[in-house]
Amino acid sequence: MIAVPQRFSPLQRLLHWLMAACLIAMLFIGVGMVSTVTPSYLALVTIHKTLGVAILVLVLVRLALRLRFGAPPLPADLPQPLKLAAHLSHYALYGLMIVMPLLGWAMLPAANYPVVLYGHIFLPAILPQSDGLHTLLWNAHHYLAFAFFALVLLHVAAALFHGLVRRDGVFETMAPLPLRDETAPVVTVDGTSAT
Amino acid sequence: MARQSSSLYTLGSMVLIAGVIGGAAAGFAYTAGWLSPHRLTPAKFLEALAPPGGPALGHRRNHAKGVCFSGVFDANGNGAALSSAYVFTRGQYPALGRFNLGTPSPDAADATVRVRGMGLRIATPNGQEWRTAMINPPFFAVSTPQAFRAMLLAEASKDPNAMKAFTAANPEFASFAAWARSAPWTASYAEQRYNSLDSFIFTDDFGVKHAARWSLIPEAQPVAIAQDELARRGPDYLEHEIADRLRSGPQRWTMVVTIANPQDPTSDPSKAWPDDRRTVNVGTLIVQQIEPEQDGPCRDINFDPTVLPSGISTSDDPFPAARSSVYRMSYDLRTAEARDYPRSIAGSAAGAQP
């Protein structure tokens, strides 16, 4: 039991909440920017591109931490279908965090736009111009964004469900602030049922 | 008792969760504009631009008729005092562009279109580029993007009073209407002056900012021609004429940057700055080759006026942002419709190109 972490490491928790803010901002900026012609359009696009690259870097760091530190186990009494859903949704979230910035980045050179971030940072073109590729990437970026938002909502609902209804310690594994007693084992992780 | 309060707590928690998720979804929908039917979206501009029969699929949604050119921009170095952009350093940089007509129809007859334009992209060895889309009127038709859409709707309206009401609400349009009535027509893209109209900010090596507009002034002498005479020469006379003209040698335009005085309006492209403003001749555009758009190098370029090198940035003029948003949507649509505007050289012929 001792080797199994009770909570995510502080660095993992910091990255989780930082990226949560970035991702939610990203999704709102994305749908907002494409629906406006006001001068804010240009600022929003610049933030969207820059934040997208930042998220790509952060998610790679996060994956490395995940491989290094692992994750606390789910409560033993969590029904098997919910465990499966939890695992699959996390694969999907990580996948989208990697794929969405890459799609966004690739879309720009596929449309012959230079890739310019905040502060006039130029990124290389990772694809040549192509009508077909651009359309494919554009559609993928567009539809996956809505899937991503739905998945984020599901994730938030599940986190609140664990934290408020099941009170099974899952929320606490990723809680932003240190618990009063970091060393105390969280109730149900070793399998003893609370209900 | 404990059981009851615990199930009440659970119910309360579920309501809270539903509220959080519902609120987030509603906020998302609001941000996306789904709850704001009056928001000015790029789609609304494209609807207003579309001719009655719908847009020409595969083509730009405005300035749909055009022809590609390539050449060089020969910078004389004078612009370096205004902007740190590489493009103003003395030297020659590859230029690519498109002569075009301000119409949503790629088949419009040349003599039916009053506004002519030039899209231009200059690339520099530092990997940056400057895109600009200029037109021949000396000032823009209206002061704001909202008014531009209102103009399009009024022009398309069946209500005989629509234009009158529009002009009353947007008095600046009268100057443009007067220009459209009285300015001489020419029979060549080469004889036009092309103006940025929008204001941009040039930042020099010392960080000093200069509000600027630019124009390309033709070396060719403009020769006035009656509109009927142009019509008689054929619906596509301009693209044939420019191709013929280039066969006898390159065509040149001087790029002149005009610097605003401190009180000059930069947010309103319908207001020309007084003639005595400081101008700097920054170089020469040399147009060397014409190619049809269908397979030409300009086809895949969106002449988005906000694609700028470091040293040039947007000002408080609201048009470049609006144009960027609308042009981008036009590009997304037309590239997805490429099948409706097929290339004559089927894709892979790129290897045969120099």
Q: What is the pLDDT of residues A55-71, one digit of tens each?
A: 999 999 999 999 999 99
Residue B336 to chain A, least CA–CA distance (Å) = 5
Q: Are B195 and B215 in contact (CB under 8 A)?
A: yes
Please answer yes or no on whether A37 and B306 come within 8 Å at the CB atom: no
Bridge pairing between strands B91-101 and B129-135: unpaired
**What does the radius of gyration of chain A's CA atoms come to, in whole angstroms?**
19
Please answer yes or no on whether B14 and A165 come within 8 Å at the CB atom: yes
Cross-strand partners of B211: B201
* Whole-number pLDDT of residue B215: 98
Q: Are B350 and B66 in contact (CB under 8 A)?
A: no
Q: Are B133 and B303 in contact (CB under 8 A)?
A: yes
**What does the radius of gyration of chain B's CA atoms come to, in whole angstroms?**
24
Question: Which residues does chain B have within 8 Å of residue A164's beta carbon, measured at their own beta carbons?
Answer: 13, 16-17
Question: Which residues does chain A have within 8 Å of residue B322's beta carbon, measured at their own beta carbons?
Answer: 37-38, 41
Q: Shortest CA distance to B269 belongs to which of B331, B176, B349, B352?
A: B176
Which of B7, B10, B332 is the best substitution to test chain A (most A C-beta atoms within 10 A)?
A: B332
Residue B200 to chain A, least CA–CA distance (Å) = 13
Question: Which residues does chain A have within 8 Å of residue B16's beta carbon, measured at their own beta carbons?
Answer: 160, 164
pLDDT tens digits, one per residue of B222-247:
999 999 999 999 999 999 999 999 99
Interior CA angle at A151 toward A150 and A154, to 5°?
90
Q: How confident is the model at residue A194 (pLDDT cuts 50, 70, 90)?
A: very low
Q: How far apart are CA B207 and CA A27, in angstroms?
A: 35
- Residue B328 Cα distances to A33, A45, B139, angstroms: 12, 12, 24
Q: How far apart are CA B56 and CA B337, in angstroms?
A: 10
Q: How far apart are CA A115 and CA B85, in angstroms?
A: 17
* More confident of the two residues B249 and A189: B249
Of A129, A138, A160, the CB nearest to B300: A129
Of B31, B316, B326, the CB nearest to A28: B31
* Whole-number pLDDT of residue B134: 98
Q: How far apart are CA B53 and CA B107, in angstroms?
A: 13
> What distance, in Å, lies between the first and last C-alpha atoms of chain B?
86
Q: How confident is the model at residue A193 (pLDDT cuts 50, 70, 90)?
A: very low
- Residue B118 Cα distances to A190, B99, B294, angstroms: 71, 5, 17
Regions of chain B where pLDDT drops below 70: 1-3, 345-354
Q: By the CB < 8 Å criterion, does A171 face chain B?
A: no
Q: Is 90 exceeded by the pLDDT of residue A188?
A: no
Structure tokens given for B272 = 């020309």
Residue in chain A nearest B85 by alpha carbon: A120
* Whole-number pLDDT of residue B4: 74
Diameter of chain B measured on Cα atoms: 98
pLDDT tens digits, one per residue of A136-182:
999 999 999 999 999 999 999 999 999 999 999 999 999 987 665 55
Q: Shortest CA distance to B140 belongs to which of B170, B96, B169?
A: B170
CATH (residue range A10-177): 1.20.950.20
Q: Are B75 and B311 in contact (CB under 8 A)?
A: no
Q: Are A22 and A89 in contact (CB under 8 A)?
A: no
Q: How far apart are CA B324 and CA A88, in angstroms?
A: 39
Q: Shortest CA distance to B93 belongs to which of B84, B104, B85, B101?
A: B85
Question: Which residues does chain A have within 8 Å of residue B28's beta carbon, measured at their own beta carbons?
Answer: 27-28, 31, 149
Q: Is 90 exceeded by the pLDDT of residue A184?
A: no
Of B21, B28, B314, the CB nearest to A42: B314
Residue B86 to chain A, least CA–CA distance (Å) = 13
Question: Which residues does chain A have within 8 Å of residue B17's beta carbon, measured at their own beta carbons?
Answer: 157, 160-161, 164-165
Q: Is 70 exceeded by the pLDDT of residue A118?
A: yes
Local structure of A170: helix, strand or coil: helix
Q: Shortest CA distance to B329 belongs to which of B319, B340, B337, B341?
A: B337
Q: Are B117 and B135 in contact (CB under 8 A)?
A: yes
Q: How far apart are CA B229 and CA B234, in angstroms?
A: 9
Alpha-carbon torsion (A130, A136, A142, A144), positive or negative: negative
Residue in chain B nearest A26 by alpha carbon: B28
DSSP letter assigned to residue A164: I
Q: By the CB < 8 Å criterion, does A117 face chain B?
A: no
Task: Please give the backbone phi and psi of residue B283, each rounded to the nearest 5 degrees, phi first.
Answer: 160, -170
Cross-strand partners of B66: B100
Question: Which residues does chain A have within 8 Å of residue B335's beta carbon, measured at their own beta carbons?
Answer: 111, 131, 134-135
DSSP letter assigned to residue B85: -
* ipTM, interface predicted TM-score of the complex: 0.92
Question: Which residues does chain B have within 8 Å of residue A153's beta carbon, measured at their own beta carbons?
Answer: 21, 24-25
Provide the H-helix boundaries in chain B. 2-31, 42-49, 145-156, 162-169, 173-182, 227-232, 237-247, 319-336
